[in-house]
């Protein structure tokens, strides 16, 4: 609309679009309280409001919208996992990503770039073949590729045979993608707020009141809020929040650091990761190279950046892309990853009747955002655990039925 744009440009006022509900007072009671306004929390609220007609919902966020691990992850979307349960779950999420911008009419800047994982040992080649077969069986595009195919996919990757860890083969995952993390949480939050959900930022849940095995209220820094049900979606603080409800989780919280270089012209299309040298690299649409890797060596609730990690990430990235030696780093940051023993999430029911868990999101939370919105909202609305998340129940650790995805991480944490 050129005239509309001209009128807007000549106007003395620039009315900004109101995305979210203006901050108001907390009500005395909500049907559902969601703790945490990240991608998962806002996604659950959006699906509750749009598909289940539950709109008396509050999202309580101690900081600001999407400022936790939604903002701190490296935005990798993929489904090339190892177990049937894991592949099925992430496959559905990748499908939902494809239509997410249309779903809430907000551009999440999805880019289907593919993901290449590198093998530097015979054992890795064997495990890649295993993953490729499981993936193909489950309808996920994964295939084993040889050195020549790798060189064609990523022409500027260092393929030297005298490298410290020569590249032997790769796992090519055409379904790999990336998206703009802020847009995901804004799209969900806007869609939820349009349907009556209240977003309360700077509202920290400090305690959970439980009477006769049920949550009756949460206490916040802005007062007590009664609730019919509570969902916790607080990656990085899962144990701390669950502890308020008297729930112990199989989680250790580790910092995971990443960094970006100055922008360059487009040089690298797919995500490239190497579990062996503990690094993954991709280039954003802005041109920055994102470099991420393994977790810190011991648990910590702190998002400081360390020189040790910068050194090891740089060394690993240069093994693969020596031209980055000239690059200047713009930023380095950390997110807190809630690592579970089997590298799969903890979703579903908890020992408290109306308290639902969306926890243990370690290093795999961003890619699962859309399917979490769908499946957790269905759980809260129907109080029946959807089949797709049933294997991820907290109870699996008592039944010794872990879903081991430790072999399917991008950078071996």
Partner 1 sequence: MKILTCPLNGPRNMSEFTYGGEYHPTPDHADASAREWAEHVFFHHNTAGVVTEWWCHNASSYWFLAERNTLTDEVLRTFDCDQVYNQRIDFPAVTTPEARK
Closer Cβ to partner 1, 195 or 252, answer by number: 252
152 by DSSP, 3-state: which? helix
Closer Cβ to partner 1, 100 or 249, answer by number: 249
Considering the complex, what minimum distance in angstroms separates the CB of residue 188 from partner 1? 28
Considering the complex, what minimum distance in angstroms separates the CB of residue 334 from partner 1? 12
Considering the complex, what minimum distance in angstroms separates the CB of residue 250 from partner 1? 4
Closer Cβ to partner 1, 210 or 249, answer by number: 249
Q: Which residues bind partner 1 (CB under 8 A)?
A: 237, 239-240, 243, 248-253, 297-302, 308, 341, 397-398, 400
Considering the complex, what minimum distance in angstroms separates the CB of residue 146 from partner 1? 36
Angle at 125 between CA 124 and CA 129, to 5 degrees: 115
Considering the complex, what minimum distance in angstroms separates the CB of residue 392 from partner 1? 14
Half-sphere exposure of 37 (CA within 13 A, CB side): 29
Considering the complex, what minimum distance in angstroms separates the CB of residue 399 from partner 1? 8
In the chain, what is the straight-line distance between the N-terminal and C-terminal CA atoms, in Å? 50
Closer Cβ to partner 1, 178 or 295, answer by number: 295
Indicate the pairing of strand 355-359 with strand 346-348.
Answer: antiparallel
Pair 216, 227: CB distance under 8 Å: yes
Considering the complex, what minimum distance in angstroms separates the CB of residue 236 from partner 1? 10
Closer Cβ to partner 1, 3 or 398, answer by number: 398
Closer Cβ to partner 1, 194 or 312, answer by number: 312
Q: What CA–CA distances, in Å, run from 48 to 57, 63, 202, 353, 372?
A: 8, 23, 23, 19, 12
Considering the complex, what minimum distance in angstroms separates the CB of residue 72 from partner 1? 17
Q: Rounded CA gap, 132 and 142, in Å?
A: 5
Considering the complex, what minimum distance in angstroms separates the CB of residue 282 from partner 1? 28
Mark residue 188 as left, alpha or beta (left: phi above 0; alpha: psi -120 to 50; beta: remaining). Answer: alpha
Closer Cβ to partner 1, 177 or 241, answer by number: 241
DSSP characters over 264-313: -SS---SEEEETTTTEEEEE-TTSEEEEEEEEPSS--S-----HHHHHHH
Closer Cβ to partner 1, 223 or 341, answer by number: 341
Considering the complex, what minimum distance in angstroms separates the CB of residue 379 from partner 1? 22
Strand partners, 229: 32
Q: What CA–CA distances, in Å, run from 23 to 62, 202, 204, 248, 369?
A: 14, 10, 14, 33, 25
DSSP characters over 322-339: GGGGGPPEEEEEEEEEEE
Q: Rounded CA gap, 408 and 214, in Å?
A: 37
125 by DSSP, 3-state: which? helix
Tokens representing 195 are 């349907």
Residue where the block lists tokens 């903002």: 71
Closer Cβ to partner 1, 198 or 296, answer by number: 296
Closer Cβ to partner 1, 267 or 300, answer by number: 300
Short-list 128, 157, 156, CA closest to 143: 128
Residue where the block lists tokens 């509050």: 58
Closer Cβ to partner 1, 287 or 299, answer by number: 299
Considering the complex, what minimum distance in angstroms separates the CB of residue 355 from partner 1? 17
Q: Rounded CA gap, 319 and 322, in Å?
A: 6
């Amino acid at each position: 609309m050129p005239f509309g744009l001209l009128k807007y440009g000549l106007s003395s006022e620039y009315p900004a679009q109101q995305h979210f509900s203006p901050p108001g007072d907390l009500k005395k009671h909500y049907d559902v309280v969601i703790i945490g306004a990240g991608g998962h929390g806002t996604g659950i609220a959006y699906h509750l409001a749009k598909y289940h007609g539950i709109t008396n919902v509050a999202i309580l966020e101690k900081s600001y919208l999407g400022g936790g691990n939604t903002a701190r992850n490296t935005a990798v979307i993929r489904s090339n996992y190892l177990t049937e349960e894991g592949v099925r779950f992430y496959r559905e999420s990748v499908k939902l990503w494809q239509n997410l911008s249309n779903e809430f009419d907000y551009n999440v800047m999805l880019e289907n770039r593919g993901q290449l994982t590198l093998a530097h040992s015979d054992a890795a080649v064997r495990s890649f073949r295993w993953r490729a077969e499981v993936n193909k069986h489950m309808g996920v595009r994964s295939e084993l590729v040889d050195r020549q195919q790798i060189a064609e996919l990523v022409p500027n990757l260092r393929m030297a045979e005298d490298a410290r860890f020569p590249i032997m083969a790769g796992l090519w995952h055409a379904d790999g993608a990336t998206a703009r993390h802020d847009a995901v949480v804004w799209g969900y939050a806007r869609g939820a707020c349009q349907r009556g959900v209240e977003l309360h930022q700077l509202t920290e849940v400090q305690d959970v009141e439980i009477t006769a095995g049920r949550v009756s209220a949460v206490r916040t820094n802005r007062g007590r809020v009664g609730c019919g049900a509570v969902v916790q979606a607080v990656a990085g603080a899962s144990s701390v929040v669950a502890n308020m409800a008297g729930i112990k989780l199989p989680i250790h919280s580790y910092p995971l650091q990443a960094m970006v270089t100055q922008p360059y012209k487009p040089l690298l299309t797919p995500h490239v990761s190497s579990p062996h040298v503990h690094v993954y690299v991709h280039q954003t649409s802005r041109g920055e190279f994102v470099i991420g890797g393994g977790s810190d060596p011991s648990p910590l609730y702190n998002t400081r950046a360390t020189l040790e990690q910068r050194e090891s990430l740089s060394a690993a990235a240069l093994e693969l892309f020596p031209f980055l030696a000239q690059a200047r780093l713009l930023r380095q940051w950390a997110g807190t990853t809630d690592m579970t023993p089997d590298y799969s999430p903890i979703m579903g029911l908890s020992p408290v009747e109306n308290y639902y868990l969306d926890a243990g999101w370690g290093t795999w939370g961003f890619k699962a955002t859309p399917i979490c919105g769908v499946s957790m909202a269905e759980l809260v609305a129907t109080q029946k655990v959807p089949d797709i998340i049933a294997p991820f129940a907290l109870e699996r650790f008592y039944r010794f039925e872990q879903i081991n995805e430790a072999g399917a991480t991008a950078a071996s944490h």
